């Protein structure tokens, strides 16, 4: 026991003080934390589509599972609010795709307007007071599926979708200010496709990936050269099939594709490289989230079959794919999920919470000390004794309601209690030996400390 204590004191000398300062740069202080309130969306949603504005404001889009009507919400302060009316379209919508215009931070939503006789693409924009159609509503021809929207750095708007009943080919159109026009010939693929997704690089160059039916749903990538579509690599070049998504890596302005937790590939300028090999992760279904941070690190969020369909997030750390936080970051199974990376390279995920009436929840993987400079940075939280074996006294000279939470180094809350007292005695005898973080949350402040349990 003595050797354990001496070891901890040698490596972590700050722990010998009963008054503990903030340490923001330690990886074990990162947790998946809720973004805003958790009980904000419609119950019984159909999807969880996430997008971030240029100022990192999160937006989510989904549909009511009973009526199919779509809605969009955004975070204002710490509360989620509807963007415009509760539902932005009065009938059923499917295949939602949400982007935020970097020029004015207004959202655009693409979807398929479904009726008993037609399934046609439409795009709507929120202009600050109401939702308006962009171009003609139902502008596609034939029965449409798999709508996906992209916006270039100057605000140019592109959409791709599949003509399901006709050719089955991927179509790409651009909004010219008044209507949707073909990009190139319009029909980009040479054969049938599923799930085309589109992305624009920093110069506005358009890339498209799709599951190529002629090649057993393996990936094919095209690039628009200004007049026609070039192949980037061979048709069906991926070693396995899948539902593919594409992103542009900000560090080198080259495309990255993924079919979820199984396989991600990067274009190196001449050919496609597999990122970290083909993984053994088992997703539930085809839905997943994919994003790349500013350093080119790919992230994937997915429903993990091996963890009873809990949500997992993985990233490539340069040598292997690793979990971001706990392998399962939710307490129960989840449905649809999506992921985005904010300007500080913090991953943000949205998902359907099966435990809470299939509502949408949004979380981010962030330091519990984030923002502490604006939350009483020079205050000290007193924890006595430290180290402790049974009872620890938590003292904070602030009057009012307090929530005291203890986190282990796996980012899991092991104990949480509430009090109105300025001093509170916590029984920690039952928790294991190790280093723990204490968070004391008040209505207007958050305080942190650490202690050693022996």
Among 318, 335, 367, which residue terminates a domain?
367
More confident residue, 264 or 412: 264
Min mean pLDDT across 5-14, 49-58, 402-411 is at 5-14
Residues 428 and 320 in one domain: no
Among 341, 367, 393, which residue terminates a domain?
367
pLDDT tens-digit readout, 314-335: 999 999 999 998 899 888 899 9
Give pLDDT, residue 369. 54
For residue 370, is pLDDT > 80? Answer: no
CATH of the domain at 449: 2.60.40.3080
Residues 198 and 284 in one domain: yes
Q: What angle do CA 330, 107, 200 make, to 5 degrees?
A: 90
Residues 121 and 243 in one domain: yes
- Chain-centroid distance, C-alpha 82: 19
In terms of residue numbers, what domain contains 294?
30-367
More confident residue, 439 or 61: 61
The overall average pLDDT reported for the chain is: 87
For residue 435, is pLDDT > 50? Answer: yes
Give pLDDT, residue 409. 67
According to DSSP, the residues that pair with 337 across neighbouring strands are: 351
pLDDT tens-digit readout, 309-318: 999 999 999 9
For residue 226, is pLDDT > 90? Answer: yes
Residues 120 and 52 in one domain: yes
For residue 25, is pLDDT > 50? Answer: no
Give pLDDT, residue 33. 82
In this prediction, residues 42-54 reach a mean pLDDT of: 92
Among 326, 343, 367, which residue terminates a domain?
367
For residue 179, is pLDDT > 90? Answer: yes
Residues 112 and 150 in one domain: yes
The continuous run of DSSP H or E covering 129 comes out as: none
Structure tokens of 384?
Answer: 């006595």
Residues 183 and 261 in one domain: yes
Residues 409 and 446 in one domain: yes
Residues 278 and 419 in one domain: no
Residues 293 and 402 in one domain: no
- Chain-centroid distance, C-alpha 86: 23
Residues 151 and 197 in one domain: yes
The continuous run of DSSP H or E covering 8 comes out as: helix 2-11
Number of domains observed in the structure of the chain: 2
Residues 53 and 99 in one domain: yes
pLDDT tens-digit readout, 105-159: 999 999 999 887 789 999 999 999 999 999 999 999 888 999 999 999 999 999 9
CATH of the domain at 255: 2.120.10.10
Residues 346 and 416 in one domain: no
pLDDT tens-digit readout, 49-107: 999 999 999 999 999 999 999 999 999 988 899 999 999 999 999 999 999 999 899 99
Using alpha carbons, list the distances in angstroms from residue 239 to 175, 212, 265.
35, 13, 10
Give pLDDT, residue 268. 97
Q: Is the Cα dihedral 20, 22, 26, 27 positive or negative?
A: positive
Give pLDDT, residue 31. 79
Give pLDDT, residue 439. 83
């Amino acid at each position: 026991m003595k050797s354990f204590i001496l070891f901890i004191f040698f490596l972590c000398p700050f722990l010998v003080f009963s008054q503990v300062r903030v340490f923001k740069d330690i990886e074990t202080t990162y947790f998946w934390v809720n973004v805003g309130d958790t009980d904000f969306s419609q119950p019984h949603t159909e999807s969880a589509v996430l997008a971030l504005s240029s100022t990192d404001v999160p937006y989510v889009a989904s549909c009511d599972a009973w009526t199919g009507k779509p809605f969009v919400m955004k975070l204002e302060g710490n509360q989620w609010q509807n963007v415009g009316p509760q539902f932005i379209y009065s009938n059923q919508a499917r295949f939602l795709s949400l982007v935020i215009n970097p020029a004015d931070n207004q959202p655009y939503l693409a979807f398929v307007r479904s009726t008993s006789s037609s399934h046609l693409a439409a795009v709507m924009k929120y202009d600050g007071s109401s939702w308006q159609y962009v171009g003609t509503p139902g502008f596609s021809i034939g029965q449409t599926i798999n709508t996906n929207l992209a916006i270039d750095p100057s605000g140019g708007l592109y959409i791709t979708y599949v003509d399901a009943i006709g050719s089955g080919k991927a179509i790409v159109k651009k909004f010219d200010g008044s209507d949707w026009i073909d990009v190139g010939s319009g029909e980009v693929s040479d054969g049938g496709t599923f799930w085309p997704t589109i992305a624009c690089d920093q110069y506005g160059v358009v890339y498209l990936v799709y599951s190529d039916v002629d090649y057993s749903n393996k990936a094919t990538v095209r690039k628009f050269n200004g007049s026609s579509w070039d192949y980037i690599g061979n048709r069906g070049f991926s070693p396995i099939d899948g539902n593919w998504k594409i992103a542009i890596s900000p560090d080198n302005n080259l495309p990255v594709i993924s079919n979820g937790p199984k396989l991600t590939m990067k274009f190196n300028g001449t050919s496609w490289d597999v990122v970290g090999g083909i993984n053994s992760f088992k997703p539930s279904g085809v839905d997943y989230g994919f994003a790349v941070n500013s350093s080119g690190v790919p992230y994937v969020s997915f429903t993990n079959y091996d963890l009873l369909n809990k949500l997992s997030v993985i990233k490539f750390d340069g040598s292997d794919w690793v979990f971001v936080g706990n392998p399962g970051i939710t307490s129960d199974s989840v449905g649809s999920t999506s992921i985005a990376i904010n300007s500080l390279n913090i991953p943000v995920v949205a998902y359907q919470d099966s435990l809470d009436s299939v509502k949408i929840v949004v979380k981010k993987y962030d330091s519990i000390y984030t923002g502490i400079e604006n939350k009483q940075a020079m205050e000290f939280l007193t924890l006595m004794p430290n180290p402790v074996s049974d009872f620890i006294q938590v003292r904070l000279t602030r009057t009012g309601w307090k929530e005291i939470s203890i986190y282990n180094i796996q980012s899991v809350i092991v104990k949480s209690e509430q009090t109105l007292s300025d001093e509170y005695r916590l029984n920690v005898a039952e928790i294991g030996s190790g280093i723990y973080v204490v968070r004391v949350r008040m209505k207007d402040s958050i305080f942190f400390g650490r202690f050693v349990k022996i």
